[in-house]
Structure 1
Amino acid sequence: MKKKLYRSTQNRMLGGVLGGLADYTGIDASLLRILAVVGFILGVGSLGLIYLIWIFIVPNEGDVYR
Structure 2
Amino acid sequence: MSNKRLYRSSTNYMLAGVCGGIAEYFDIDPTLVRLAWVILSCIGAGTGIIAYIIASIIIPK
TM-score range, shorter chain: 0.7 to 0.9
1:43 Cα deviation from its structure 2 partner? 2.4
- Among the aligned pairs, what percent are the same residue? 42
Aligned Cα RMSD in Å? Answer: 1.5
Structure 2 residues not aligned, in runs of 5+? none
Is the deviation greater in 41-50 or in 17-26?
41-50
- Using the alignment, how far apart are the partners of 1:43 and 1:25 within structure 2? 23
1:18 Cα deviation from its structure 2 partner? 0.5
1:50 Cα deviation from its structure 2 partner? 1.0
1:26 Cα deviation from its structure 2 partner? 1.1
Q: How many residues align?
A: 60
Does the CA contact (< 8 Å) of 2:7 and 2:59 recur in 1? Answer: yes
Structure 2: which amino acid aligns with 1:38?
Answer: I
**Higher relative contact order, chain-length normalized (CA < 8 Å, sep 6+):** 1
